[in-house]
């Protein structure tokens, strides 16, 4: 089941199955889409996209520059 647009934050990591977003709470999302992200491996990012199962089809991916609220 697909959901509407969602914004997530976490760290991009490369796994044997491809790029994943690791959220601070430990949740992992498989990143899909045509966004170049090799330069963001190991970086904190903000991702916007559509969730389907355990994957997010990203249409926006950028380094995080702000400090998350407490």
- What six digits make up the tokens of 42? 């190991």
- What six digits make up the tokens of 40? 């963001």
pTM for the model stands at: 0.82
Say how many CA atoms lie within 13 Å of 63 toward its Cβ.
7
How far out from the chain centre does Cα 39 lie? 14
How far out from the chain centre does Cα 22 lie? 7
- What six digits make up the tokens of 30? 């498989």
**Per-residue model confidence (pLDDT) at position 4:** 77
Mean pLDDT over the full length of the chain:
88
Q: Is residue 7 within 8 Å of residue 23, measured between CB atoms?
A: no
Tens-place pLDDT, residues 14-30: 999 899 999 999 999 99
- What six digits make up the tokens of 38? 């090799």
Can you give the residue ranges of every domain in the chain? Answer: 1-30+41-49
């Amino acid at each position: 089941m697909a959901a509407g647009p969602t914004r997530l934050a976490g760290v991009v990591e490369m796994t044997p199955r491809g790029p994943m977003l690791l959220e601070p709470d430990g949740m992992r999302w498989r990143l899909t889409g045509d966004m170049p992200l090799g330069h963001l491996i190991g970086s904190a990012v903000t991702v916007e996209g559509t969730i389907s199962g355990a994957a997010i089809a990203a249409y926006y991916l950028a380094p995080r520059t702000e400090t998350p609220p407490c």
